[in-house]
Structures are given as structure tokens and as C-alpha cells.
Structure 1
Amino acid sequence: MDTHTHHTGVTTGTPGPRRRALRAVVAGAVVLAAVAGGAYAAGLGPFERDTGPDPAAGRQARAFLADWAAGRVPAAADRTTSPGTARRVLDSFTTGLDISEPKLTPGTATETGDGTVTVPFTARMPVTGLGTWTYSSKLPLREQGDGTWKVDWRLSLVHPRLSETEKFRLEREETEPPEVTDRDGTTLSAADHPSLAPLMTRLAGGGDTGTGARGAIRLIDRATGKVERTEASFGAKTVRADKGPVATTLDADWQSAAERALAAHAHGRNAALVALRVDDGEILAVANSPASGFNRALSGTYAPGSTWKIVTSSALLLKDAVAPDDVVDCPKYLTVGKRFQNVELSEHPGATFRKDFTESCNTAFISLRDRLDDGELGEVARRYFGVGQEWHVGAPTFDGSVPVPKDETEKAASMIGQGRVQANPLIMASVTATAVSGTFHQPSLTAGTEDTTETTPLPEDVVTQLRAMLRATVTDGTAKVLAGLPGDVGAKTGTAEVSDDQDNNGWLVAHRGGVAVACVVEEGVTGGGSAGPVVHDLLAAVPDDSE
């Protein structure tokens, strides 16, 4: 094995340009910020409270974390008392440790008694090709002479053990990935299927946490290079003794079509897709753009936007809180602590609930929030769809999160897949499969995975209603991009706001025959316009739906 090392500390880095994207108001979106790891964007803070420390300090902390998580290092540095040093350290920390797309979740601000405000946060740092390093730290904030607040810069806020005398080093032990075969025994190579390259290293160790690539993050003395402690270890403790092929549920045709569709329509944006079988949850394709690095399809944490209305509709239909033909007005605006709105301020007076679903009306869905108990949406997601339970897929995954809302504004947001609701293409493909079959099947990538989930089947009448609404969304609603495809295609579009200076993420989920598909395109603006062409090309290329 060859060992490669990367160092990080206070080094000189070249910051990338600060990107200023025009904010789009699109279907399924609300004026709400939810950075993909839970950090809020600058200036929005819809869940702020009036008690405790100066709210401006909390806003500045969340804005700093949002900028850092989104890769806007110069912007994050400018929010500190030492912008030049902060920029160099943040750049070298993430670059030197091969960290991509940090997930930074702020806690509650507290006053420390010395004129500063402290905001704790949890850091989930994905180390490329290895795994996620999770730790906790704190942001100190100090009021400036002009009354504004800034992050009081110090090395320890990046990580509690980062200091003038100690820094971190990444060590890798490279191993050859195993031979991987699809469901028919066809060999899958990284050359033919680039998106599988990071996944193949994960399969080498076997199981959800095994990884062929192994490594560690060490805390070292800056002067001597002596290792003081190991902060995180990655990879299987033992390498597979069996050097035979790893058999997967993947299908070479579906995988190739998925990668071609992303390559044709991602246009340089981050994107991900999962296709799986409805009747047993076996995964047919996992594709990411870019193909190397973070596996967004299985481990990403995104607000699912209006695709989540499948779960919200299920919760409402399960308790007869609404019926498809009931009139549920769709006004331009609805205020619940803040103003929510629809695409281009659209409105549909006298609309039925079915039309609210097919047109993805935010205000209509939010108006029904009182018909669900505060924790009911999360309970339905867990009980019927398996979301939030622990999945054993055969590779590392994020299995979803639907927290009980903190207040009415957050409850309103959760009705339309925003707030703190988090998912990814794997979860939303599974949600779609469950909705149209009535039964949750734990997704699987390899045979023999453990299944510890416990779910209840959806009633047949609810499944019938969901299938009809998904089909109507293709024939008469926001998913008409799929209308020309053969077969009984059903779908739901979605859009999720990320931050005030980034375009919205675009989503589309669909099912046809025995396959369910979910796709997200970061900063895709609309689901139909960005994820729609990807799913269209995939389904057009693979007419056999693996029934």
C-alpha cells in the first residue's frame, strides 16, 4: 500500500470568486433558507426568536456557517474580525483535508458574560473518498464599534484542537477497488461508469461502513510533525479476504443511461440520480455529477422541496383530512410568521386538492397544516415510508430527517419539504416507490443486507389516490416534460430554496412500470426545467422497466 499525506494549517490559498446568483422564485419554493447541512443563509433566519442574545449575532453566525458550507470562503472570512487570516485558514483546512461540501448546523446562541455571544455548531466534514468527519465547535461573536457583530476570529473555532502549535494531517492508504458486477454478472468498470468509482471503494470492505480506501486524520505538532492523536479513522478495519467480485443489484444499461443523462443536462452543476425497483427496493442506478467525490445520490442532505408533497399528501389522506376533489384555495400568498408564495405569484382560486398537487401549490398545502399534529408528518414518513429509520443499503447512506417543527413557521415550511426536512435522491426514489406500491422496501445495493426497519403498508385507497395525482401531474401539471414518454408515467416536480444568493435546487421524481427514479440538480432553478430532462432521457433510453 502507498501512503499519501496532505497537510493543513495556516497556509496561503487562492480564493475562488464569490458567486452571486440571481434568486429565482419558482414552483415549490418559499422564501426560506436551508443550506444542505442545516446552516441558514444570510439575512433570512425565518426561525429566529426575540429572546436571549442580540438576534443580529445569531444571524451573523448562521451567515458565516452558510457561506463556509457553500464554499463562499471570501464571504465567510469577511464576516470575521480577521478576514485575511480567516480566508487562508478556511481554504487550507478544507483543501488540505480534501473536504467537500461541509454540513454545518448551528445551535442556540448564548451570552457568555464578557460581551461576546457564543453559537455552537456541529460540523459534518465529508473527506473525499473516505467518509465523514463529525465534530462540534463554537463560534465566538463580538459586537463592533459600529454596532454590527462579527465572528471573533481564532483558530479554535474551525476545530477546538486547531492552534498555533498543532494542525491536522490527512493520511490515506490506497487500495485497489474490487471487481464489481451488476445484477446479471456483467463487470462494471469505473472507466465505463465513472459515477461508480467512489462507490466501488466503499464496496471493498463490505457493508454500510466498509471502504476499500482507508485513512485517518491526525493531529500533529506543527514544529516536529509528531502525531499527537488520531481525530478520525476511515475504512474497514480489515480488508476483504475474499478477492472475488462484489455482486450488486445495479443494472449496466440503467447505470449507463443515468450517467449519459446527467452528462447531457447537468451543465456543470452538481446533480445526482437514483433508480430503483418498486417491488423490492433493489437499486438499478446511482449517478452523480461530478462523477468523482461526494456521493450526493446516497449521502446528500437536501431539502426535497415539493417532491415531499407526496408524503404530506399521504399524511392528509390517511386521516381523511382532505380528499382529491375537495376545494382548497391556492392564493398567491399565505403568511405564517412570514410570507410564503407560489411560482411567479401564481394563484388558482377554487382549486381542488388534486390541482393543488399537480400545480405544486405551496399556499394550499400550508393552509392544511392545522389538520396534522406537529409531529404527524415525521411519524407518517417514518412509519409508512421508512424515512429516518436506519437503512442498511450496502454502502454509506443518509436516511432522512423530519424533525418535529419548532414553531408554526417551521411547520408550514415542512408541509412543502423545506425547513429542516432533509432527504436525497435515494430517499425520494424510495418514497415514490412506496407511494405507488403501498409497501416500503428497504433499498439495497448488494445482496444479504440487514433490514431492521419496521413499517406499515399504506391503505389501498390512499395508494390509488396518490397514483392518480402523480399521473395527473404528468398529463396536466408541472411534469409535462415526461408526457411524451410511452407507458403510464407518474411524477412530481419540486423546487427547494437554498440561500438568498443561490438559485433553487430542482427536483423531479417519477415512476413507470416497475421502476422509481429521483433526480436533484443543484441550482437548477426549476424541477421540470433541470431534473425533468435528465429523467426524460433516462426513461427514454431504457424502455425495459425491470418488472
Structure 2
Amino acid sequence: MIEFDDDRYEEAGFADDEHGAEEAPAEAATRRRRAVRIGVAVVCGGMLAVGGVGAYNVANAIRGGSGGGGAQPVQPAAATATRAPTAQEAETAAKGFLDAWAKQDFAAAAALTDRQDLATGALATFQRTLNPEEFTLTPTGAAAAPAGQPGRTAVGFHARLRFDGVDRAWEYDGSLGVVRTDEGRTAVHWEPGVIHPSLAAGGSIDVRTVDALPGRLVDRNGKPFDESSPVKAMLAGVKTGGAGTGTPGRAVVLVRGSAQPAEQLFALTDPGAAEFKVTLDAELQRAADAALKEQTGGGGAGSVVAVEPSTGHVLAMASAPAGAFNRALGGGIAPGSTMKVVTGAALLEAGLRPDSPAPCRDTATSPRVWHNDERGDHLGYTLADDFAHSCNTAFIEQGLAKLQPGTLAKVASEQFGLGLEWHTGLLSFDARIPAPGNRDEQAAEYIGQGSVRMNTLLMASVAATVQSGTFRQPVVVDGVADRATAPGRLPAGVASDLRAMMAKTVREGTARTPMAGIGGQVGAKTGTAEVDGKNPNSWFIAYRGDLAVAVEVEGAGHGAEAAGRAAAQILRVGNNG
């Protein structure tokens, strides 16, 4: 890299030319000697990372080292402010300089300037820094002389540099000021702008590494997401583990100090961007976005998560309102009766069967009085009937009779992975099922109320665990380290019984209406969660084949309505990846 210091005049004690005629030749020569620092500068600015080529130190040449072409520096011959060279004289001098420079005969080129001591090393440094495969310099005729600089005749030139492996040339136009020296010689006036016009204002030219572009976000099939999709903002904080890092580029740059970003003059190689692949499916994501927007009215709150049971891959996630808090992964709200899937697993492990008698009474006491959405007694119900029709009172009575305080949290953790520390690739809320302090709190937990806190990511995983029989912690980026693993898995009999009860809920229970017409291996559970006396939140979890979905819509009432409609819309698209 070449760097010029404009304070050279004061450093060398150089006086104005008008005093030179009154001094002895030796004194005049001494005053005309200008100390110039041309060295290596390492500067990092903007997107341009440190990667420059080590530059030739011209200051060393000035102090007696070898210069480009092996020439030794000579004393400068200062230009006079007398008659400017004619156009013909200027063009002849300029052509000789440009020809020698293009041939890399830097000593010969420098000898045609008024500052051979500076020009030799600077030209050599430029060549060594850029190392072009081909370098041509062509005079372009008379140019406008700079204002306020008498005694100069300007000649334009066109530079063209080609580089190995680069399919295009770097081309730029410059200008040379030709002067008549004290010796009466016509010479190119040396200044930084001779090499490149951008150097006229100071700075240096270098070859630098250009940072790679961020990885292009694509789905599991390599397809880009819709530009308008809110999921792109939701994925902004995803932990890639190094995935999606593209290849850096290289460029010729102008550097003007550490406080300013380097300016790219010519790209030698463009930076590349690797495809940053997430587990989401672009088609399913569009369906999730549309379904949630429709069911929240475009302004309400809610969330959706779709998971692939066989892998734990998150295939879609949506949160409303868009741009707000990501409640799909970060929310912590009561899941309502969707929690009966976990309570049902605990009761089955405690010895009940789907066909075990479990009367659905109009009310139950803990001593708090509990009731169902549909009033009345159904004393002939079995556990499967209670599940399909979401009977609160039966689950509370059976839970209080068959389960110990804390059993629900243990089953949730060991079989469903709930309450463990999940590492999905994004920040997420871990399930909360605190130890109940009394029988009222214990009863509330069995139906997903009280202090139980979940979100759609967690409950989609519950549905996925039932479908596959194995907990696989959901992830947004495949290969995430420290993925949580449940201590055990669903016992085969429990998993089979839960699938049967969720299928019954689709055929003849509370999920019948939204799931109508959806075939294959299906199962579902509705939930209606009462929160702070407000209109209940609508919850729905379901699976169809290798696709599990959870939806919640704030204040939308029964689970079979808003949440159920959104879930069914996504399940109809299916997992076609």
C-alpha cells in the first residue's frame, strides 16, 4: 500500500521557490530536499477487513535503500513558475513517462518527473501491491490545467489493468501536470494524484479482503422465503453455529485513515454468500402466516408452530401481531385442555386404560368448584370419552385420586421433555409446571390452568411426541448443539392409547368440526384457557402423518373455533418435504 504525507514540506525545512535564487547552490539544494514518508499502513474500515498486500517501503529508498528498478535516488529538480511547456512538449514528456511506467521501468519513468526520489518507490509500490497481469497506459491529449497552478500543462491518460483470474479490467482516467524545471527540462510534476486521481486528496491504495455477505436465508429445500414473510424477522437472532458464512472477496480500495471506511475502487473477486438453511418449509410457512392472519383478524394476538415428529424440525412458526414479541417460542401462557394429553399420559401410566370408567360429572370440588363447558352429568363416560369431549371434572377427579402432587411435572419432563432447557437455535421459553401448593392448584394443573405455562412450540412438541412415541426436541437449525433429551420416552402402550384417544377426538369429539375431511393418521386435542377472567384463549394441537401443529388465538373462545380452523388449514397443506 502507498501512503503520502502532505506535511513533507515543513519536515524538510523547504522554503518557497522565490527565495531559491538568492541562496548558494548547496543551500538551495538542501532547502529543496523534501522528506516524504511512503510506507505501509494497516487500516481496517467499514466492511473491508485487514487483508492487504505488504507494500514496498519507499522511505527506505529515500534513505539509501534500493528503489524500483535498482536506481538510486537523486536530488530533486524543482519546477519553476516560468513559461509552461507547450502542448507538444507536454504530450511528449507525458508519453515517455507513461511508456516507461507501463513497462515497469520505474527508474526511467521517475527520471522523467521532477521528483525522482519520490516517484521511483511510489510507482514500484503501486505495481507490487496490485500485481496486475497486464498494465496499459494511453495518453488522451490535452486536459484542463488545475486552477491556481501556473506553469503547468495538463495531459490526460487512460489506465487499464487486468488481473489474473478476473474477467474484466479495471480502467480509470487520470491527468499529469507537465512543468519546466529550473534546469530547463520538461518533466512530469510528481504528486500523489499521478498514480490515481483519488490520491490527490490524500490516502493510500491497497488490496484488501472484503467481508463475505450474510448467508441467504432459505428453507429446508433451498427455497427462499417470501420477502413479506414475518418469519424473516423472527429468524433474525437465529444461532447458526457458523452456518451460512459466505466466501470473502478481494478488492482494490482507497484508504483515508482508520476513522473512515475504505472505499472500494475495483472488485477483484466478489464476496459470496452461502445459503443459510433453516428447518422451516417455505410452503408450509406461507400457510401458517395466512392461517394465523385470518384467525386473528389481522390485528389480534396468537401463534402457530408446526413440527416434524420424525426429526423435531420446526417446519413453520408464526406470531401475531407481526413485528411484536415472538409468542410462538417466547410466550408463557396457560395451555388449557391441550394439557390433558400430558395428564392423560400420567393417568395411563398410573393404571387407567382408555376404556376405564371415569364419570363426567357436572361439577367437581378440590375444594374449589369446577365445571365443564357443557353442563350436565355423563356418568357412563370412559377415560377416552372424557378426553374426546374434554371433561374437566373427570380429569380433576381422576388426577386427585390417582396422582401424587408433582407427578404431572415428572411425566411432562421424563416423557415429553417439558421443563428441560431447550436449545432450538433461537431464544425460547421453557415449560413451567410448578409443584402445586394445595389441592386447588393440583386440580388446576390437570386441565392446563393455574400456574402451568406453555407456548405453541412446546405444545406442538407434545403432539409430535404422541405421534412418533419419542420426544425429539424441536430445532430451527439442524445440528444445534446441546439439544435436550428426555430421560425416558413414552411407554409404547401409553403412546398407543394416547393416539387412540386423540383419533377419537377427531372422529366424534370436540375436534370433529375443524378436522372434517382430513384423512390419514390424525389426532387432535382442543383447549379453552381462561386467563384473568378475560374471554378464553382458543387452543388446538393436532397431527396428520409426519406433521404436528399447535395454534393459540388470544380471546377467541373455544379451541375448535379459531385455533382449530387455523390448525386444520395447515394440516391440509401437509408435510410434503
Mapped partners of 1:199, 1:523: distance in 2: 23
Structure 2 CA distance for aligned equivalents of residues 243 and 411 of structure 1: 53
Q: Residues 362-415 of structure 1, C-alpha deviation per residue, up to 9 Å, x if partnerless?
A: 000000123111111000000111100011100010121111101100000001
CA RMSD between the two structures: 2.1
> Which residue is equivalent to 1:525?
557
Please report how far the alpha carbon of residue 544 of structure 1 lies from its aligned counterpart in structure 2 after TM superposition: 4.0
2:510 counterpart residue number: 478
Say yes or no: does 1:416 pair with 2:447: yes
Asked whether 1:434 is paired with 2:468, we answer no
| Cα distance between partner residues in 1 of 2:476 and 2:358 | 41
Give, in angstroms, the shift of residue 177 of structure 1: 7.7
Q: Is the 8 A contact 2:547 2:574 kept in 1?
A: no
**In structure 2, what residue type is equivalent to 1:473?**
T
Q: Give, in angstroms, the shift of residue 488 of structure 1.
A: 2.7
Q: 1:455 aligned to 2:487? A: yes
1:496 to 1:244, Cα distance in 2 relative to 1, 3 A = same
Contact 1:188-1:252 at 8 Å conserved across structures: yes
Distance 1:472 1:294 in 2: 35
Structure whose CA Rg is larger: 2
The aligned runs of 1:86-485 (5 Å cut-off) are 179-191=216-228, 193-194=229-230, 196-203=231-238, 206=240, 244-267=274-297, 268-320=299-351, 322-368=352-398, 369-450=400-481, 451-480=483-512, 481-485=514-518
Q: Helix, strand or coil for the counterpart of 1:250?
A: coil
**CA-to-aligned-CA distance 1:432-454 (integer Å, 9 cap, x gap):** 11112211001010022122433
Whether the 8 Å contact between 1:438 and 1:460 is mirrored in structure 2 is: yes
Structure 2 distance, partners of 1:263, 1:330, is 36
Q: Does the CA-based 8 Å contact 2:544-2:574 persist in structure 1?
A: no
Mark the CA change 1:517 to 1:338 in structure 2 (over 3 Å): closer, same or farther.
same
- For the residue of structure 2 that corresponds to 1:201, the secondary structure is coil
Instruction: Give the fraction of aligned pairs with identical amino acids, expressed as a percent.
Output: 41
Deviations 1:409-434 (A, max 9, x none): 00000011111111110000101111
Q: Distance in 1 between matches of 2:484 and 2:535?
A: 38
Question: Matched residues in 1 for 2:333 and 2:428: separation?
Answer: 13
Describe the SS at the equivalent of 2:237.
helix
Q: Secondary structure at the match of 1:187?
A: coil
CA distance in 2, matches of 1:318, 1:186: 44
What residue is the counterpart of 1:513 in the other structure? Answer: 545
1:50 alignment partner in structure 2 = none
Note if contact 2:295-2:553 (Cα within 8 Å) is conserved in structure 1: no
Label 1:434 to 1:348 Cα distance change in 2 as closer, same or farther (>3 A): same
Is this contact kept in 2: 1:198–1:295, CA < 8 A?
no
In structure 1, the partner of 2:524 is 491
Matched, 1:536 2:551: no
Contact 1:440 1:455 in 2 (8 A): no
Q: What is the rounded CA distance, in whole Å, between the counterparts of 1:180 and 1:246 in structure 2?
A: 5
| AA of the residue aligned to 1:340 | W
* Cα distance in 1 for residues equivalent to 2:558 and 2:241: 36
Of structures 1 and 2, the one scoring higher in RCO (CA 8 A, sep 6+) is: 1
The AA in structure 2 aligned to 1:436 is Q
Is the contact between residue 214 and residue 273 of structure 2 (CA under 8 Å) also seen in structure 1? no
The change in CA–CA distance for 1:545 and 1:380 in structure 2 (over 3 A counts) is farther
Structure 1 residue 207: Cα displacement: 6.1
Conservation of the 8 A alpha-carbon contact between 2:529 and 2:537: yes
Q: State how many pairs are aligned.
A: 335
Which residue matches 2:167?
A: none
Cα separation, partners in 2 of 1:243 and 1:433, compared to 1, 3 Å: same
2:323 counterpart SS class: coil
SS for the counterpart of 2:305 is strand
> After the TM superposition, which segments of 4 or more aligned residues of structure 1 sit over 4 Å from their partners?
none
Q: Is the 8 A contact 1:438 1:463 kept in 2?
A: yes
Which secondary structure does the structure 1 equivalent of 2:561 belong to?
A: helix
- SS of 2:386's equivalent? helix
**Following the alignment from structure 1 to structure 2, what is the Cα–Cα distance between the partners of residues 404 and 242?**
53
Structure 1 distance, partners of 2:494, 2:286, is: 35
Please give the secondary structure, in 1, of the residue aligned with 2:427.
coil
2:250 paired residue number: none
Contact persistence 1:436–1:467 (CA under 8 A): yes
TM-score by length of 2: 0.56
Q: Alpha-carbon deviation of 1:189?
A: 4.3
C-alpha distance in structure 2 between counterparts of 1:467 and 1:507, whole Å: 19
Q: Shift in Å at residue 302 of structure 1?
A: 1.0
Q: Which residue of 1 aligns with 2:129?
A: none
Determine the C-alpha separation between the residues in 2 that align with 1:488 and 1:346. Answer: 32
1:188 is paired with a residue whose SS is coil
Contact 1:390-1:453 within 8 A present in 2 as well: no
Paired residues for 1:24-35 under 5 Å: none
CA contact (8 A) 2:306 2:316 kept: yes
Please report how far the alpha carbon of residue 178 of structure 1 lies from its aligned counterpart in structure 2 after TM superposition. 5.4
> CA separation in 2, counterparts of 1:190 and 1:200?
13
SS at match of 1:345: coil
SS, match of residue 274 in structure 1? strand
Post-superposition offset of 1:292:
1.3
In 2, distance between residues paired with 1:496 and 1:293?
A: 22
Q: How far apart are residue 242 of structure 1 and its match?
A: 9.7
For 2:544 and 2:214, locate their aligned partners in 1 and report how far apart those are by CA, in whole Å: 34
Partner SS for 1:435: helix
Q: Structure 1 residue 206: deviation in Å? A: 3.7
CA contact (8 A) 1:375 1:405 kept: yes
CA deviation after TM superposition for structure 1 residue 283, in Å = 0.6
Q: Distance in 2 between matches of 1:471 and 1:400?
A: 25
Gapped runs of 5+ residues in structure 1?
3-175, 209-240
